């Protein structure tokens, strides 16, 4: 089975044990969030927004390195940080 990132996921133990390179933990600190919505436009698979909320939430706590880099670059308030290398 192939996910939205083009990687293959399975249900075997080897899939769990094998570290995936190129993914990092996403840390969202929305304290200074201005509500611009850029993050949800940029990465809707990673960042969501519930109708009526003033702040985004994480749909996924891991993201490909490139997506995390873009979130960090495009958020005008610096709400995103990268954590540890992680498996998706």
Tokens of 86: 């992680």
The count of chain residues that interact with ligand SF4, using the rule CB under 6 A, is 13
Q: Which is nearer to ligand SF4, 58 or 87 (CB)?
A: 58
Q: How many CB atoms lie within 10 A of CB 58?
A: 16
The whole-angstrom separation of Cα 36 and Cα 17 is 38
Q: Give least dist CB 74 to ligand SF4, A.
A: 6
Query: CA–CA separation, 84 vs 24, rounded Å?
Result: 6
**Under rule CB under 6 A, residue 38 binds ligand SF4:** yes
Binding-site ranges for ligand SF4 (CB under 6 A): 30, 33-39, 56, 75-77, 79
């Amino acid at each position: 089975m192939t996910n939205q990132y083009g990687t293959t996921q399975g249900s075997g133990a080897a899939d769990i044990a094998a570290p995936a390179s190129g993914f990092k933990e996403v840390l969202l600190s929305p304290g200074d969030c201005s509500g611009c919505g850029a993050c949800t436009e940029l990465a809707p698979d990673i960042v969501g927004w519930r109708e009526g909320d003033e702040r985004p939430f994480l749909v996924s706590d891991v993201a490909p390195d490139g997506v995390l880099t873009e979130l960090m670059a495009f958020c005008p308030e610096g709400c995103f940080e990268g954590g540890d290398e992680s498996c998706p």
